[in-house]
Amino acid sequence: MSNILLLNSSGIDSLAVAKKVSRLSTATLHSVYIDVGQLSRVPAKEAALKIAAKYCISHEVMQVFPDDRYHIEYDVGRNIPFLGAAIFMFGAIYARSRDIDFIASGLKNDGVSVEFNEKFLSLLATSKKTKVVIPLRPLQNYSSYEEIIEDIRGDELLPETWSCNRPKKCGECPKCLKRKELSID
Ligand SMILES: [Zn+2]
């Protein structure tokens, strides 16, 4: 039995990964939401909890900053720089401190070079305990985003997933527009 940690960001990819991994009879799925000050953290944490409640046997929120004073100022609607990289790093530390065999995530390591990403993943994979498997989008074994959606189309949690970087769904960012195009919202 493998212990797998879902880096649960509450989005469509997290739901797809959770559903995919939960089908494996040899895996136990744990979930963590890593709060590094995302503007969307309040609704995202609620959505992450719902995904975890359905598909995971445990869920934790890793709160990086003690309160809002420490949250990074950045343009509304834009991601924190290196958000993906930060979540991967905190996730790897979290996994190593627990009995985790694999890390699963639909997150994309945005904003870093291909070279850095490869070195970073190989560094994490040197851990004796945790083998880091990060399926970048589109998720492993899916050839397109539409295929990801089809796999979770009937899941009642699909409309509950949170994609927008803002604290309220703005309806105009690329993520909100993509959700409208796919008839999720
Ligand atoms: Zn939006």
The per-residue DSSP string of 68-102 comes to GGGSPP--TTSPPTTHHHHHHHHHHHHHHTTT-SE
Cα 21 to ligand 1 centroid, rounded to whole Å: 28
Measure 163 CA to ligand 1 centroid, in angstroms: 7
Torsion on CA atoms 98, 89, 148, 102, rounded to nearest 10: -30
pLDDT of residue 137: 46
Distance 135 CA to ligand 1 centre (A): 24
Cα-to-centroid distance, 179 and ligand 1 (Å): 9
Q: How far is the CA of 176 from the centre of ligand 1 (A)?
A: 4
How far is C-alpha 89 from the chain's CA centre? 13
Ion ligand 1: residues, CB < 5 A: 164, 170, 173, 176
Question: From the CA of 149, how far away is ligand 1's center (Å)?
Answer: 18
Tell which residue, 93, 96, 84, 67, has the closest CA to residue 11: 84
- pTM metric for this prediction: 0.84
Q: Say if CB 144 and CB 113 are below 8 A apart.
A: no
Query: Which CATH code is given to the segment(s) 2-181?
Result: 3.40.50.620
Cα 177 to middle of ligand 1, angstroms: 7
Q: Residue 81: its pLDDT value, please?
A: 67
Q: pLDDT below 50 — which residues of the chain? A: 136-138
pLDDT (tens digit, 9 = 90+) per residue, 104-149?
A: 887 666 566 778 777 776 766 666 566 665 554 445 556 677 777 8
- Model pLDDT, residue 136: 46
Q: What is the mean pLDDT of the chain?
A: 81
Centre of ligand 1 to C-alpha 165, Å, is 6
pLDDT of amino acid 27 = 85
Query: Are residues 146 and 116 in contact, defined by beta-carbon separation less than 8 angstroms?
Result: no
Ligand 1: distance of its center to the CA of 175 in Å?
Answer: 6
| Coil/strand/helix, residue 27 | strand
Strands (E) across 23-173 are located at 27-35, 58-63, 102-104, 131-132
Name the residue type at position 141.
N
